[in-house]
């Protein structure tokens, strides 16, 4: 029988530390399930668990995405730096990349340990998501492409307020993703169906491993106060480590605030600071609050949908 371990949960709960411990105990390799750490150049802002100058070991390519690993205390850690900041990296792309890496790890007799808090990505990996089967409505997209982000946000909130509340900060400010959500809603997809899993298309079936055993460990903060304290400490450490310079360097290379990678929490706030819209104190406070709100959404998602996975 083959085994997969999944360690997921709220931000700033020590998931990677626990996953690394388990990898050493079980002879496993880590696979990042973090939609933001998949982007190259965003090491400090996203809190990648690698030291400056760490070597990336390229292994293969899926379409435009790079598959490779870093070594964390001698343990391979996959699916960092899969995409450049200007590239879209969806849950579908993550599923494709992750299944390839999982099969490679299993073939070598090791245990894949998936770690990260991007719940929708994880759910798409474990089960097929019905929304992927609704095709593009090009006539509708042509109309929606003339609207601003604010207008798209307002339209989605009107059409499907529950779905809008499920979106993270990146999704809410990405016109392409807002258009897709509006498109899905207008074709009759409800929030329940959008987040529903298809039991007929499990990861076991995708990998053709009917005896695959999947164990899931979830991590959460004991109280909202604990979450805010841990997040505040983490944001302040990232500021001291050079997060502002990291974003400034990316902008100097020609990336913009409109690129998918720079819609990451932290990048948006730092970019506003660099533009002179906020002072440093406001920037830090806004970043902390965005992370706290994200942690709340993670907990809601985990409590509402995740028990059905286990």
Q: Residue 305 falls within a domain, yes or no?
A: no
C-alpha count within 13 angstroms, C-beta hemisphere, residue 92: 7
pLDDT one digit per residue (tens) for the chain, 310 residues? 899 999 999 999 999 999 999 999 999 999 999 999 999 999 999 999 998 889 999 999 999 999 999 999 999 999 999 999 999 888 889 999 999 999 999 999 999 999 999 988 888 888 765 555 566 788 898 899 999 999 999 999 888 887 787 776 667 888 888 998 898 888 766 555 554 555 555 788 888 898 899 998 989 999 999 999 999 999 999 999 999 999 999 999 999 998 999 999 999 999 999 999 999 999 999 999 999 999 998 888 788 766 544 3
Q: Residue 23 falls within a domain, yes or no?
A: yes
Structural tokens at position 103: 């099969």
Q: Residue 295 falls within a domain, yes or no?
A: yes
Dist CA 300 CA 292 (whole Å): 13
Q: Residue 36 falls within a domain, yes or no?
A: yes
Same domain assignment for residues 201 and 90: yes
Same domain assignment for residues 100 and 7: yes
* Amino acid 307: pLDDT: 55
Same domain assignment for residues 118 and 207: yes
Q: Residue 162 falls within a domain, yes or no?
A: yes
Instruction: Find residue 272's DSSP bridge partners.
Output: none
Structural tokens at position 229: 């304290």
Q: Residue 146 falls within a domain, yes or no?
A: yes
Domain CATH code at residue 286: 1.10.287.890
Domain CATH code at residue 99: 3.40.50.300
Same domain assignment for residues 145 and 265: no
- What is the count of structural domains for the chain? 3
Instruction: Find residue 198's DSSP bridge partners.
Output: 128
C-alpha count within 13 angstroms, C-beta hemisphere, residue 57: 9
**At 27, is the secondary structure helix, strand, or coil?**
coil
Q: Report helix angle 267-274 to 243-252, nearest 10.
A: 70
Dist CA 214 CA 279 (whole Å): 47
- pTM (two decimals): 0.81
45-90 residue pLDDT tens: 999 999 888 999 999 999 999 999 999 999 999 999 999 999 988 8
User: 27: domain range?
Assistant: 3-129+197-221
Same domain assignment for residues 12 and 115: yes
* Amino acid 133: pLDDT: 54
197-236 residue pLDDT tens: 555 557 888 888 988 999 989 899 999 999 999 999 999 9
Same domain assignment for residues 187 and 258: no
Phi, psi of 129 (to 5 degrees): -100, 125
């Amino acid at each position: 029988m083959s085994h997969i371990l999944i360690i997921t949960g709220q931000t700033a709960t020590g998931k990677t530390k626990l996953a690394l411990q388990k990898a050493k105990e079980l002879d496993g390799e880590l696979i990042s399930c973090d939609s933001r750490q998949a982007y190259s150049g965003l090491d400090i802002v996203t809190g990648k668990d690698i030291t400056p100058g760490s070597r990336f070991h390229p292994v293969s390519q899926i379409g435009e995405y790079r598959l490779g690993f870093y070594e964390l205390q001698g343990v391979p850690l996959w699916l960092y730096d899969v995409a450049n900041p200007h590239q879209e990296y969806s849950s579908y792309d993550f599923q494709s990349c992750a299944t390839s890496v999982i099969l490679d790890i299993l073939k070598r007799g090791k245990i894949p340990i998936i770690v990260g808090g991007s719940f929708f990505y994880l759910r798409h990996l474990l089960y097929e998501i019905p929304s992927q089967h609704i095709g593009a409505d090009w006539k509708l997209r042509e109309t929606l492409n003339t609207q601003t982000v604010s207008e798209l946000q307002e339209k989605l909130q009107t059409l499907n307020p529950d779905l809008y509340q499920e979106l993270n900060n990146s999704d809410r400010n990405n016109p392409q993703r807002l258009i897709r959500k509006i498109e899905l809603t207008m074709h009759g997809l409800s929030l329940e169906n959008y987040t529903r899993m298809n039991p007929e298309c499990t990861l076991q079936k995708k990998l053709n491993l009917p005896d695959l055993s999947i164990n899931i460990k979830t991590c959460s903060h004991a109280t909202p106060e604990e979450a805010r304290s841990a997040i505040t400490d983490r944001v302040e450490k990232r500021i001291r480590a050079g997060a502002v310079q990291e974003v400034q360097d990316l902008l100097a290379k020609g990336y913009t605030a409109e690129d998918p990678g720079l819609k990451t929490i932290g990048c948006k706030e730092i970019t506003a600071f660099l533009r002179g819209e906020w002072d440093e104190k406001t920037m830090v406070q806004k970043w902390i609050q965005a992370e706290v709100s994200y942690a709340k959404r993670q907990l809601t998602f985990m409590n509402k949908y995740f028990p059905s996975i286990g």
